């Protein structure tokens, strides 16, 4: 098999629900696919504890990015120390990803565009325009945008645009 392998590939360690999680992510992202699966054999069962024939890994792709999901067992879990940013061009896109990925997730972890999905994976649903405002705005614009950002769970692009424009006209 002569397929090009991505140089760095994020690997998600799931307890035993990698298939469910991958199917969930593939259903959300428009450019997404499952590429291949591997299965546990009897070899190493005393180490990994998985049944022969159970899915071991799933190679999948979301928006051109390669990922691997592993049914690894309960030894490790996700934390907010690693998150995946979804760069959104519009409020509709922010709403689309936020609504789907936050469904069934941990509401207590929702802050400043960050959310934790029902599998415990952290995502940042971010408007591209926000980064531009923070990079090119004057001191007052950046301060006002940041103050609004810190109050929000799901980000509201219209609020950022409003305070950014107001701060520009007051300068």
Q: Given 40, 74, 108, which residue is the final one in a domain?
A: 74
If one counts every other C-beta atom within 10 angstroms of the C-beta of residue 70, the result is 16
What is the pTM assigned to this prediction? 0.90
- 67 and 24 inside one domain: yes
- 14 and 70 inside one domain: yes
- 66 and 85 inside one domain: no
CA angle 99, 104, 105 (to 5 degrees): 85
Question: Domain count of the chain?
Answer: 2
Q: Given 54, 74, 94, which residue is the final one in a domain?
A: 74
Distance between CA 94 and CA 130 in Å, rounded? 12
Distance between CA 102 and CA 111 in Å, rounded? 12
**pLDDT value for 158:** 97
pLDDT digits 0-9 by tens, 137-166: 999 999 999 999 999 999 999 999 999 999
**pLDDT value for 169:** 85
Residue 32 lies in a domain: yes
- 33 and 93 inside one domain: no
Q: Given 30, 56, 74, which residue is the final one in a domain?
A: 74
pLDDT digits 0-9 by tens, 80-111: 999 999 999 999 999 999 999 999 999 999 99
Residue owning tokens 């998600």: 12
**pLDDT value for 113:** 97
**pLDDT value for 1:** 47
**pLDDT value for 7:** 92
Distance between CA 91 and CA 125 in Å, rounded? 10
Q: In what order do the strands lie in the sheet with 106-111?
A: 83-88, 122-127, 114-116, 106-111
CATH label of the domain that carries residue 40: 3.10.180.10
- 37 and 82 inside one domain: no
Q: Report which DSSP code applies to 74.
A: T
Residue 1 lies in a domain: no
**Could you tell me how far CA 5 lies from the centroid of its own chain?**
22
Distance between CA 141 and CA 21 in Å, rounded? 40
Distance between CA 26 and CA 4 in Å, rounded? 21
**pLDDT value for 3:** 63
pLDDT digits 0-9 by tens, 7-53: 999 999 999 999 999 999 999 999 999 999 999 999 988 888 888 99
**pLDDT value for 171:** 65
- 60 and 140 inside one domain: no
Range of the domain at 106: 78-171
Q: Look at 49 and 130; give whichever has higher pLDDT.
A: 130
Round the average pLDDT of the chain to a whole number and report it. 94
- Averaged over 108-120, what is the pLDDT? 96
What is the token pair recorded at 14? 């799931």
**pLDDT value for 48:** 84
- 111 and 87 inside one domain: yes
Using DSSP's 3-state secondary structure scheme, residue 3 falls into: coil
């Amino acid at each position: 098999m002569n397929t090009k392998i991505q140089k760095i590939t994020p690997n998600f360690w799931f307890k035993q629900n990698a298939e469910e999680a991958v199917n969930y992510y593939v259903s959300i992202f428009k450019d997404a696919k499952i590429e291949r699966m591997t299965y546990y054999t009897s070899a190493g069962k005393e180490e990994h504890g998985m049944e022969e024939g159970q899915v071991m890994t799933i190679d999948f792709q979301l928006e051109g990015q390669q990922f691997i999901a592993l049914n690894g067992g309960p030894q490790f879990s996700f934390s907010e120390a690693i998150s995946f940013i979804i760069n959104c061009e519009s409020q509709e896109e922010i709403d689309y990803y936020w609504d789907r990925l936050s469904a069934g997730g941990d509401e207590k972890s929702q802050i400043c565009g960050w959310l934790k999905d029902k599998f415990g994976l952290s995502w940042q649903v971010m408007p591209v325009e926000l980064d531009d405002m923070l990079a090119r705005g004057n001191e007052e614009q950046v301060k006002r945008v940041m103050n609004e950002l810190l109050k929000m769970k799901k980000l509201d692009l219209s609020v950022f645009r409003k305070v950014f424009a107001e701060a520009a006209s007051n300068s």
